[in-house]
Structure 1
């Protein structure tokens, strides 16, 4: 049962403070944590039902379902609104991909405050200039000045509650720099108050990620996004004492593949008879959306029908 229906059923909803505490515990845990991408309430509910203990509100995925490119085209207000739907659809904490903060320190702290008000458990900011471009697109990835980005992090920490989780995402390797630059930035961001470091790479192997983790020596928890180096065994992350793995875009990409396949079939066959067994049934949809809770609530709150 999701947070919205839990409230309806019991009168209680997990507070943002509790969600942040759970997310912090997951990231600080000695066990490897996995966060699953969500881009709306439905994908969030599916991920929770699959067993994930936390969610990643992906900037790429949210932008894509809104019809925008992941290039700071979607506004922060649109992102915040969708995060609210993700939070309301589940009982697990949500770490939000906040891109580069949608501007300077002032924009970043406004976004963080609004996200915390809507129930997000934490925020991840990447050290790029605004507007940003997706890390896997092209070679124009201008990094923010270290001191200026540290100011963004400090502003977020000073604006949000003490439990709100702040992850600093380092794009040095995406921009073509080496591990030394990434370590310098990680040290500065730790000093600025970050709770964890997300180190990003677009290479097909995890060598530079694992080298960073060894050099960093777990000064703060390390978060990774193995979208490109997906063939690396998870045991390598455990051996490197990686804190958290984010599966950052997979439900959105799966939805694209599924919808494309079904649309092509229906267009070609001019019928849905042959594909009905390949798509989710209404029973599954209604379970995900807790229609049973609505039926119980109707019995409780609506007047009894008379013949």
Structure 2
């Protein structure tokens, strides 16, 4: 009720321990706190908080228009409602290295388990769109060093994302991944890999966990969990999938409402009120409320 039963520092410790086993951890993207709770209930290992989803939720394109305050606020809302570790998209760190340092501490305070910082220039673009540009290696490394230096909880995961594959090719991505690990990155997010062999090349080049982004309609094929596990991927995210499914369903419902004047034909597709109340633990809140008011102040 109200909050996760596990303190943020403990979530981070448990996340690090599980990541160290080498197993593949599945992190669907939560578009709000309620969807994060559903992800937990279905048995996944973590929750991903996408910058693209947060931007879209605000009616904005994913080009670096969101602020640290907005990202940290949504991160805190999601992290508090689930016992799962939450990994959050921190874009380019919201400024220069000193801003990156503040970003990491703010996200620690928000209760998330880790964040990834990317090497794009500002204004950034969605990682699977054309026209991206990345900063020089020295700037990319400064961001990661600042992030590592700033964290207070050593179990807070600092992940480095590189977008250089789409610009300079796989060899450049491998070289940058190595340099980012040398700068202190705990994990690597090689964006827009096109084949399993490319993931395998990054896996062979670094000795830290790597992440695969299985976003629909992007540069990468939609590989299965088993395929990614076989090439040594440690975390897989589906960042926008639940939002796309929800918005598709919402659009179809509105079309039905326009065409039929009611939603009777859609009742079977809706989450039932009883299931919603169960997911948000309505009964737990009622029991707590009743327990508080069982005393008599006159005695």
Q: TM-score, normalised by structure 1?
A: 0.89
Which whole-Å CA distance do the structure 1 matches of 2:245 and 2:221 have between them?
15
Which stretch of structure 1 is more off in the superposition, 271-280 or 96-105?
271-280
Matches within 5 A, 1:200-215: 200-201=191-192, 203=194, 205-214=195-204
Distance 2:18 2:165 in 1: 26
Match in the other structure for 1:219: 207
Is 1:183 aligned with 2:171? no
**2:262 alignment partner, SS class:** coil
* Offset of residue 41 of structure 1: 0.5
SS in structure 2 at match of 1:166: strand
Match of 1:38, SS state, is: coil
| Corresponding residue of 2:164 | 172
Q: Are 1:143 and 2:131 counterparts?
A: no
Contact 2:12 2:85 in 1 (8 A): yes
Q: Give the aligned partner of residue 85 of structure 2.
A: 93
Alpha-carbon distance in structure 2 between the residues aligned to 1:93 and 1:294: 24
Structure 1 segment 29-44 matched on structure 2, within 5 A: 29-44=21-36
- Say whether residues 1:105 and 2:97 are aligned partners: yes
Name the CA distance, whole Å, in 1 between partners of 2:260 and 2:140: 54
CA RMSD of superposed structures (Å): 1.8
Residue ranges of structure 2 left out of the alignment (5+ in a row): none
- Give the secondary structure class of the aligned counterpart of 1:251: helix
Shift of 1:303: 4.4
Deviation at 1:276, TM superposition (A): 2.0
Say which SS state the counterpart of residue 207 (structure 2) adopts.
Answer: coil
- The residue that corresponds to 2:76 in the other structure is 84
Residue aligning to 1:195: 186
How far does residue 251 in structure 1 lie from its aligned partner after superposition? 0.7
Give the alignment of 1:229-244 within 5 angstroms: 229-244=220-235
The equivalent of 1:155 in structure 2 is: 146
In the alignment, structure 1 residue 125 sits paired with structure 2 residue 117:
yes
